[in-house]
Amino acid sequence: MKAIIFDIQRSSFVDGPGIRTTVFFKGCNLRCKWCHNPESQIIKPQIMFYKSKCISCGKCREACPNNMEKCDMCGKCTYACPNGARRICGREYTISEVLKEILKDKAFYETSGGGVTFSGGECMLQIDFLEEILKKCKENKVHTAVDTAGCIPWEYFLKIMPYTNLFLYDVKCFSDKLHILGTNYSNKLILENLKKLSDEFLGDIIIRIPVIGGFNDDTAEIRKICGFIKSLRIKNTEILPYHKMGEYKYEALGMKALKYKVPDPKEIKRLKEVFCNIQQGE
């Protein structure tokens, strides 16, 4: 069994508790206009070309069996490039290959209360592989987290819940029209799945709300999100400000990045206060 994975990051501190290894699955069924990992959207491997690094030496063309007129994903152009201007994003991994990477830092997980986080893209789109690697992690006593946008069949959650300690669940907005505008997809299934997960999952759930300047950063939308979350059996919520660190990837993929405003730290603080006041019933 294999999965398409585009990155495995060790020593992460932002994808759950403690020191973690984050495994990024390729492929996503949402198209968030502010996506900071656009290379995660298409499930197939891609060539990323960083024009600013290219010195026009022609080594890539010399190495390419097709003279750069079409791409077979052989990777020869990436190996030939002396300046790292080309790289393949995404490759097939086996269960044993991924597990080997995860277990390299098991001692750090144990001392820090960390573990492994499966992210994406949407890792649950490759559900059979995800289920098997989660089982292996449980056998090896590694804490597991699944980072999901929740836009998948409920049956997929049922498959992996017995082997998952923590869900990191994205809630981008409450308004369905706004969600469609920002992601090209309705959030009805996402919210339905979150309600079911809250009712049936015995582990921990952390809701993550990305705050995108000019999109979902108004008080009214935050109040709607908070009102919904308050009706659930969930206490942990993170408000995450949008950042521009992924914009350079769009050019490398031949895509155009939409520009969004990075929220002011004072505004993030104010929205957090609004959220906390609603949660506390004020």
Per-residue tens of pLDDT for the chain, all 282 residues: 999 999 999 999 999 999 999 999 999 999 999 999 999 999 999 999 999 999 999 999 999 999 998 888 898 999 999 999 999 999 999 999 999 999 999 999 999 999 999 999 999 999 999 999 999 999 999 999 999 999 999 999 999 999 999 999 999 999 999 999 999 999 999 999 999 999 999 999 999 999 998 898 888 888 899 889 888 988 788 989 988 888 889 999 999 888 888 888 888 888 888 777 777 665
Q: Are 35 and 246 in contact (CB under 8 A)?
A: yes
CA dihedral 163, 166, 168, 173 (to 10 degrees): 100
Q: CA torsion sign, 143 to 21 to 24 to 36?
A: positive
What pairing do the DSSP bridges indicate for beta strands 46-49 and 86-89? Answer: antiparallel
Return the number of other C-beta atoms located less than 10 Å from residue 202's C-beta: 7
CATH class of 2-45+90-279: alpha beta
Tokens of 164: 């998952």
Task: Give ranges for CATH 3.20.20.70 in the chain.
Answer: 2-45+90-279
Measure Cα distances from 209 to 39, 222, 268, 277 in Å.
Answer: 21, 9, 11, 16
Name residue 57's amino acid.
C
**What CA–CA distance (Å, rounded) separates 132 from 94?**
11
Residues 6+ apart with CB under 8 A from 8: 21, 22, 23, 24, 98, 101
**What CA–CA distance (Å, rounded) separates 37 from 42?**
11
**What CA–CA distance (Å, rounded) separates 274 from 262?**
19
Burial 66-82 (b: 16+ CB within 10 A, else e): eeeeeeeeebbbbebbe
Tokens of 42: 């298409």
Q: Are 39 and 48 in contact (CB under 8 A)?
A: yes
* Closest-CA residue to 236 (of 208, 211, 269): 208
Q: Which long-range contacts (CB under 8 A, 24 or more apart) does 259-265 make?
A: 260/33, 260/34, 260/212, 260/213, 260/214, 260/215, 261/213, 261/214, 262/213, 263/211, 263/212, 263/213, 263/217, 265/241
**What CA–CA distance (Å, rounded) separates 90 from 73?**
10
Could you give the 3-state DSSP secondary structure of residue 36?
coil
Q: Are 125 and 27 in contact (CB under 8 A)?
A: yes
pTM of the model: 0.93
